[in-house]
Amino acid sequence: MSVGSFQARQTNSRHDGTCACPTAEQQLEFLQRIQSLFEDGNFSATYKYALLMALAELAVELGEDNGNELPLEMAKIGEKFAELYWPQTVQYVSGVAGTLCDVLKQNHGAQAGAINELLNLREAGANTLSKAKNLPNWPSAVQRITETVRTMPIKHLQVLGGRQVPFLYDYPLPHGKLVLKAGVMFNLRTFHSLIQQLARNGWISHIRQIHFNREIVGPTDDLERFMFGTSRNSLQAVLPILAKLQSGRCFYCDGDIRTGGHVDHFIPWSRFSRDLAHNFVLAHTGCNSFKSDMLAARIHLDNWVRRNEKYGAEIAGNFGEAGFVGDEAGILSVASWAYGQAVTSGGIAWVESKVTEPVSPAYLAVFG
Ligand SMILES: [Zn+2]
């Protein structure tokens, strides 16, 4: 099937003004094109992986489950880049004897420009992302990163076999924005986890191939945790804040947490890997372990939404000091997406212990 027919069928509008969701066949074709990006695309730096992850995350945070186009401001994409690269701008410490400690290179030649911009922010005194965002030179750094994204990965991401295959967005871009084509937002939302994992794996293996990094990274190191995980130290920092907010009780079973407790991502990290302040809850280690990578059941969802409504500002303030970004509206959109996907795919949610229940459409009432 040609690219042309793919575009033509997706631009069919429905009576309500929205575009029809992509058919199963169109979804499959989209996945094949994503696959060919990884197989045939030329990735000289890690920017293209970051761009794909940025587009997928923005489709979840700002989009809806329909087949429409999604216009994205370039500045939003630049900011997302800064967030994705931020954890990777500290020195990597392997622990394997004989390796050097240094910031990993993201490019075969000189260090990637986006990294240098973020390193400058760290030198200006920001040791966390939320502090970096409060620096007076944050906007200008993001502006320069945005310009790099516009002139490099956006131009090159869809080049396959030496020619532009614009299946994600039209290129050249309209001024100041990138428009995800009809059907793309829907597909990025539907296949977010898959695309995220493909991009991560590609990014990690690219990092390993860069000659400079071979002196730094041990052959068996868990780079994924370093590049995309949450640092355990920073989670420890929010534990007392949550303990106070929840009066020392488990978010899920309401039992007393006598010692320790575990900081849980309410929307599981495996589904959406962004450390937003309002997504954290404190739970018994046992409850956390039973919940694992599942969504939480409706009773917990209602409690979580209510908690954020009531304490949203307080959470943003306290967690900001601990280094986490607050985006109450953003995490609510992510939750609405995650539960919406679960309804569509017949997913289950965790109630307590080993008890689960199907995620029914009634769950979605909480999102209005
Ligand atoms: Zn519990």
Domain range enclosing 293: 232-367
State the pLDDT confidence band at 10, using cuts at 50, 70 and 90.
very low
Please give the tally of structural domains in the chain.
2
Q: State the distance from the centre of ligand 1 to the C-alpha of 21, rounded, in angstroms.
A: 40
Q: State the distance from the centre of ligand 1 to the C-alpha of 244, rounded, in angstroms.
A: 16
pLDDT of 211 over the 60 cut: yes
Q: State the distance from the centre of ligand 1 to the C-alpha of 285, rounded, in angstroms.
A: 7
Backbone φ/ψ region at 41: left (φ over 0), alpha (ψ -120 to 50), beta: beta
**In this structure, are 262 and 295 located in the same domain?**
yes
Domain termination residue (choose one: 228, 248, 281): 228
Residue 335 CB contacts under 8 Å (≥ 6 apart), including other chains: 266, 267, 301, 304, 305, 367
**In this structure, are 283 and 312 located in the same domain?**
yes
Mean pLDDT of the region 231-252: 90
**In this structure, are 125 and 213 located in the same domain?**
yes
Q: State the distance from the centre of ligand 1 to the C-alpha of 288, rounded, in angstroms.
A: 7
State the pLDDT confidence band at 236, using cuts at 50, 70 and 90.
confident
**In this structure, are 146 and 248 located in the same domain?**
no
Q: State the distance from the centre of ligand 1 to the C-alpha of 352, rounded, in angstroms.
A: 8
Q: State the distance from the centre of ligand 1 to the C-alpha of 120, rounded, in angstroms.
A: 42
Q: State the distance from the centre of ligand 1 to the C-alpha of 115, rounded, in angstroms.
A: 41
Q: State the distance from the centre of ligand 1 to the C-alpha of 257, rounded, in angstroms.
A: 8
- Cα gap 106→86, rounded to integer Å: 12
Q: State the distance from the centre of ligand 1 to the C-alpha of 194, rounded, in angstroms.
A: 31
State the pLDDT confidence band at 345, using cuts at 50, 70 and 90.
very high
Q: State the distance from the centre of ligand 1 to the C-alpha of 348, rounded, in angstroms.
A: 19
* Count of helix runs (H) and strand runs (E) in the chain: 15, 9
pLDDT at 5: 41
Domain termination residue (choose one: 206, 228, 250): 228
Report the mean per-residue pLDDT for the chain.
Answer: 91
Q: State the distance from the centre of ligand 1 to the C-alpha of 345, rounded, in angstroms.
A: 28
Q: State the distance from the centre of ligand 1 to the C-alpha of 308, rounded, in angstroms.
A: 19
**In this structure, are 255 and 350 located in the same domain?**
yes
Q: State the distance from the centre of ligand 1 to the C-alpha of 275, rounded, in angstroms.
A: 22
CA 277 to chain centre: 14
- DSSP assignment string, 179-219: EEPTTHHHHHHHTHHHHHHHHHHHHHHHHHHSGGGGGTS-T
Mean pLDDT of the region 119-144: 96
Q: State the distance from the centre of ligand 1 to the C-alpha of 255, rounded, in angstroms.
A: 6
**In this structure, are 112 and 79 located in the same domain?**
yes
Question: Which residues are found with C-beta within 5 Å of the ion, ligand 1?
Answer: 250, 252-253, 255, 284, 287
Domain termination residue (choose one: 181, 198, 228): 228
* pLDDT tens-place string over residues 252-283: 999 999 888 999 999 999 899 888 999 999 99
**In this structure, are 236 and 223 located in the same domain?**
no
